[in-house]
Amino acid sequence: MREIQFRQALGEAMSEEMRRDEKVFLMGEEVAEYNGAYKVSQGMLDEFGPERVIDTPIAELGFAGVGVGAAMNGLRPIVEFMTFNFSLVAIDQVINGAAKMMSMSGGQFNVPMVFRGPTGNAGMLSSQHSQNFESWYANTPGLKVVVPFNPYDAKGLLKSSIRDDDPVIFMESELMYGDKGEVPEGEYLIPLGSADIKREGTDVTLVSFGKFMKVALQAAEEAAKDNISVEVIDLRTVRPIDYETVVQSVKKTNRLVIVEEAWPLAAISSEITYHIQKHAFDYLDAPIHRINSLDVPLPYAPTLIEVILPSVKRALEAIKAVSYV
């Protein structure tokens, strides 16, 4: 099977859906003439023209609102934020507009659109450009939230997101756009709300999503050297969450560790911890451990970034802590 980059998988997903459905279009800063800030939309302007691949001003509130209005009128916009840090400028349109319109209109208006772009840290970009808002958006009824890990999942999930009749927050990683992975040539979709077991195991369940799946998988490899068999689950979507896959895994392994980039308070890991203690408490042989970023804004200095973010070392320590109870 061919190997392509994460950015290419996203670009293929958008292009395929735009060929399939003329109501789909892309808008955002630098998506057209510049081929995208991260080259995700490379070549799309040439194929689809400026009416369907639209460069916007640096005005997230404005073009997000245009997207919501377009979706309410039957189109299927893909709105790219250069980073989800900038989505805060548009958050009223996302949460008070897109997410609530179906409910507020008594079912008269769907808002079939995708807000997509990079989330989390991308190296030395400091506090205002290194944040994770997955749990913010996942806390909002009316939104679906997707955080893919590899090119295969990214393409299948983005195609499903574009076809979905509800607004979808599709969160990527700036550090993963160059990652390569196997992606088939043919048409495929991955349903939203379906987790994936990336590694089978029997001793500990390790849950993560997005780029920190790399930490989870590496920690599982290290644990195997100490004869600890770790089952690694990639949530893929954090609203809706596939609780059942996690519950069934914990019933098998009797232990749970969660790795997440976001700050610890009211995080996705908090929600999973609550759900497991409610629905699989009698199966737990050790307290649940979760690894989040430390509860501080991310600084510029790489030495401090290394201390603050979840690491293989911290994940491995947690795996061993629950294994030896």
Letter string b/e over residues 250-262, b meaning 16 or more CB atoms within 10 A of that residue's CB: beebbbbbbbbbb
Strand partners of residue 181:
4
Under 8 Å between Cβ of 138 and 268: yes
- Residue 279 appears among annotated catalytic residues: no
Q: How far is CA 68 from the centre of its chain?
A: 21
Q: What angle do CA 210, 324, 319 make, to 5 degrees?
A: 10
Q: What's the CA gap between 234 and 101, in Å, rounded?
A: 31
Q: Please confirm, yes or no, whether 271 is among the known catalytic residues.
A: no
Helix axes 213-224, 312-323, angle to 10 degrees: 50
Distance of CA 218 to the CA centre of its chain: 19
Give the separation between CA 171 and CA 168, rounded to whole angstroms: 9
Distance CA 184, CA 293 (A): 35
Catalytic residue among 12, 17, 60, 261: 60
Could you count the other beta carbons within 10 Å of the beta carbon of residue 215?
23
In 3D space, the residue among 121, 117, 100, 118 whose CA is nearest the CA of residue 109 turns out to be 100
Catalytic residue (one of 17, 29, 80, 129): 129
Residues marked as catalytic: 60, 129
